[in-house]
Amino acid sequence: MLRPPREALSSTPLEVTIVYAGDQPGGTEVDVPAQLNIAVSNTDVVPHRLALTRESGAPEHLKLAAGELKAVRYTGTWPEWARGAMQIDVPDLDVSPSYVLLTRPPRSGKDAALASAGGANATTTAGTASGAPSSSSLIASSPAPSRPDAPVPQINTFLSRFSAYEPMYFADGWGQDGDNLAKFQLSFKFRLVIPDDPRSRRFVDNLYFGYTQTSLWAIEEYSSPFRDTSYMPALFYYLEDTGWKSKWWSRMGVMAGYEHESNGRDGPESRGVDYVFLKPIWDFGDINGYHLTIEPKFYYYTHIAGENHDIADYRGYVDLRFIYGSPDGAQLDTTLRKGTKGGKGSIDTQFTYPLAKLINSRWGGYVWLGFFSGYGEDILDYNQHRWIARIGYSITR
């Protein structure tokens, strides 16, 4: 029984080995299926089913004495789209998923040194009391000739390239003088190129288009008008992990690019800025548990609309963001701004907690609590001071 290789090449086959065990005192008889259905996926593609074929010469029926083991191998080809951190699951068996970091070889067809790692094989132990396999999952490695003519599955690669960008939420609340302003934000990023090597740091391989839209909504007023909406398209380079190691942090990422922000209005209420930005991202502590993330965002204005020519006095040139929490628990997210004018700036803090923990695992999303105080919650009122507290629901954070 072997653990999976950390890395594999797509030019080697995908193999799943079922190990049947005679777990009954009087022996066990098992029918061995001609095909095995598995599901493979990665962060860009939803689980897709594949049928693997039983190896030639393998028995169709097994008679196992007590304690006897018999391995049967099933073979298939990695899908054309497969790359990155691949999850392999056998839905028809009670097993845990296995994971392999899959790299596509150079298009010349010559395998790199990684080929010595071989293909990815899922090895599963199965024993029966009633003739149907039950199992626990393991993985082995064994190279074999690839099948370049394997069909490419019909999957929606367009939708699979989308992922969360800024938090998405809807919240309502009240502030100074009893003013009511609901707020909602939509945001996503789209990866332009899926690299063959998931560790690639090339510019084009890590290029994203991002879009964020934030609206303030006076729900309680007559006809419920929108106070203002900010439209923020962006084009940027993003690496979640640069690989730069230090005793001071557990991971360092980086984001850099161009962003536009405007409210789409004409006349004196028109607002707009363009800027280039650089955002290093440091994680401190166990990234799978409670940890601290610090994200300073430095920006330089390449264009400022005349109607908001003094926006830097209130917004400044740096957003300082602190996030403390865990991926499956509570999280506190705070962004600080300091304008170039004395006493101008803002604090925006958001607390989220998973509904799955608050209610039950069928629920998705988060309870959202927010507080803003300062200048420029929306770009229309960039030079107006406001404080407001809200409660709502968050899809992503």
What is the secondary structure of 300-322 as a DSSP string? EEEEE-GGGTTTHHHH-SEEEEE
- Number of other CB atoms surrounding residue 16 within 10 Å: 27
Residue 223 known to bind ligand: yes
Find out whether 277 and 256 touch, Cβ atoms under 8 Å. Answer: yes
Tell me whether residue 262 is one of the annotated catalytic residues: yes
Assign 114 to helix, strand or coil.
helix
Residue 246 known to bind ligand: no
Q: Which among 177, 161, 181, 160 has a CA at the least distance from the CA of 226? A: 181
**What is the rounded distance in angstroms from the CA atom of residue 145 to the CA atom of residue 210?**
41
Q: Which of 163, 200, 260, 326 is catalytic?
A: 260
Residue 227 known to bind ligand: no
Q: Which of 10, 11, 262, 394 is catalytic?
A: 262
Can you state the percent helix, strand and coil of the chain, rounding each to 5? 5, 50, 40
Tell me whether residue 385 is one of the annotated catalytic residues: no
Q: Which among 191, 198, 8, 238 has a CA at the least distance from the CA of 84? A: 198
* Ramachandran sector of residue 374 (left: φ over 0; alpha: ψ -120 to 50; beta: rest): left
- Number of other CB atoms surrounding residue 383 within 10 Å: 16
Distance of CA 287 to the CA centre of its chain: 14
Residues marked active site are found at 260, 262
Q: Which residues are annotated as a binding site?
A: 223, 265, 270
